[in-house]
Chains A and B, each alone.
Chain A
Amino acid sequence: MGIFSRFKRGKFSHIIQKIFGKKHAKIGIYGPPNVGKTTLANRILREWTGDIMGSVSDIPHETRRAKWKTNIKIDNGGSSLVMDLVDTPGIATKIDYKEFMNTYGLNKEESRMRAKEATEGVIESIRWLEDIDGVVLVMDSTKDPFTQVNVTIIGNLEARDLPILIAANKIDADEASPATLKSAFPQHPVVPISALTGYNTEDLYNNMVKHFGKKRIKKRR
């Protein structure tokens, strides 16, 4: 390793980060239900701490309470970011317990309970928005990106001037179209990934360090 690169990796980047960057940030993983938020949280934790965040399922609203882990350090070779990672329940505008019965075969009691907890989870996710420094907004790249939930979250964070990184997930699926996501939200960085297989997560981590490390003044509402 040359003198310059050693200097760059060590003191220089430290000084730059101290002047311009944020070293510790609270990052929320947000998105609609079933886009792979917990799969991504598990991937990040497994790769950087060896831990996991929670269980995943094909049935929507598996995560119904926010979960978090503190002091996760990720780096991109040159600089690093220490973050508290919050995995939030999926945000939706409607929750119909009959969908759990008819589509996923849960019984009536389980379905009603899941639906009730899911409504509480949505409220919890929205309240967490007040307390975070940046968001990884997970979208399903096989689906239409212009959902009201995506538009509302993005608008809300833009109003607070908080950084957003869009993870175009499920890129391993045949029908994935990350280009549609990029053209839908050109004002924010979009990183195509597969949280399931780990495809391109290196690029996501680089972008997280770069994007969430920037110095910003948080607007409170």
Chain B
Amino acid sequence: MVKKEKGISFNLISRRKLNDLSSSEKLKYILKEVRQGRILVLEHGLTPTEQTALIENTMKEIDHDTFIGIEMGGYEEEKTSFFQRVFGVIKKPRMTVIGPAHLLKMVHKDHDKIETTIISGKGVS
């Protein structure tokens, strides 16, 4: 049996994996992973509606001794042109990082860079 190293788990989740899930499945999956102490980088981020729902679900899950919430940072959605909007092309969410708030801290964010710090010594075993 391979003994697991103590550390912080960082998972990069593909666009395909997320596209295969419905919105509610996606949120359930993200929150379950984050509650287990994993930091996720989503290749294809969440829509604003999904982000809002994730915040709402997070609030319901907060347990003040073991889970204080999430840290989340993503780039704004790509803008669509007038013609794309006319033909119903929706904005595409972009890369997003999500992790438990006791492990991941957002330091700075702008249009081109998301800077985070990982709080060491609190990894999963």
Contact = CB atoms under 8 A, between A and B. Distances in A.
Interface of A: 91-97, 112, 115-116, 119-120, 122-123, 126-127, 129, 144, 146-149, 151-152, 154-156, 158-159, 184, 221
A96 B68 contact: yes
B51 interface: yes
A166 to B, nearest CB: 15
B77 A94 contact: no
A189 B33 CA distance: 38
Given A93-B69, A119-B59, A144-B108, A156 B64 contact: no
A152 B59 contact: no
A32 to B, nearest CB: 11
A151 B68 contact: no
Interface in B88-125: 101-102, 106, 108-110
Given A144-B108, A151-B76, A91 B49 contact: no
A156 B110 contact: no
B101 A155 contact: no
A43 B92 CA distance: 39
A87 B106 CA distance: 27
Given A93-B55, A126-B56, A155-B48, 18 more contacts: A93-B58, A93-B69, A94-B68, A94-B71, A94-B101, A95-B68, A96-B64, A115-B64, A123-B56, A126-B52, A146-B108, A146-B110, A147-B106, A147-B109, A148-B73, A151-B76, A155-B51, A156-B52
B74 to A, nearest CB: 7
B59 A122 contact: yes
A149 B48 CA distance: 10
A93 B101 contact: yes
B64 A159 contact: no
A119 B62 contact: yes
B72 interface: yes
Top 9 A-B pairs ranked by shortest CB distance? A94-B69, A155-B48, A94-B101, A146-B109, A119-B59, A96-B68, A156-B48, A152-B51, A122-B59
